[in-house]
Amino acid sequence: MTASNIGAVMRNVAALGFDAVLLSPRCADPLYRRSVKVAMGAVFSLPYARIDDWYGAPELLRAHGFTSYAMSLAADSVPLDEFEPEAGERLAVVIGSEGPGLTEHWQRAADHRVTIPMAAGIDSLNVAASTAIACWHFRPR
C-alpha cells in the first residue's frame, strides 16, 4: 500500500473508532511524511504494528479471538449490508492494496469475504473510500 493510501486509511480507521491497524510487510511506512500529512496526524494517535508473517496472520487473528472480514471483489463475496456485527465482537477488517487487492491466500483464509454493492458500470472504489465504508459499517457501537 502506498504512503498516501495508508495515511488515508489510518485517518478513516481512527475517525471511525477502531483500535489499531495491522500492516503487511510491504505496506508503506505510516510515519513517512506523505502518510502523516494525508492522515492529518492520525498515525500518532492510532496504534499500529507490522506483522512480518502476513501469510500466518489469519490464524494469528483467529487465535486472539478476532473474526476477519476480507474486503473482496470476488463473485461469491457477500454484500457488506448483509453482515451485522454482534455487540462486542472482535473483528478485523482486512483490505488489500489498490489495484491487486487481497491475495488469494487471504481471501480463502478470512472468516468472511464481503463486498460493497455498487451501481451498474462501477466495479470498484479506491482503497481509502472502501475502507471508510467498511469501517463505518463495522464501527464499534
pTM of the full predicted structure?
0.89
Report whether pLDDT(102) > 90.
Answer: no
User: In angstroms, rounded to a whole number, what is the distance separating the alpha carbons of residues 16 and 57?
Assistant: 23
C-alpha cell, 32: 513517512
Q: Has residue 88 got a pLDDT over 90?
A: no
In this predicted structure, what is the pLDDT of residue 84? 83
Strand (E) or helix (H) holding 134? helix 127-137
Domains of the chain: total: 1
Q: Comparing 116 with 123, which gets the higher pLDDT?
A: 116
CB 53 within 8 A of CB 109: no
Strand 67-71 and strand 112-115: pairing?
parallel
What is the predicted pLDDT for the residue at 134?
Answer: 95
List the domain range (segments joined by +) for residue 70. Answer: 3-137
- Helix spans in 21-90 (H): 33-38, 57-63
The domain that holds 66 is classified in CATH as 3.40.1280.10
- Spatial distance between the Cα atoms of 34 and 124, rounded to a whole number of angstroms: 24
* Largest CA-CA distance found in the chain, in angstroms, rounded: 40
For the residues 20-44, what does the mean pLDDT come to?
A: 94
To which H or E segment does residue 115 belong? Answer: strand 112-115
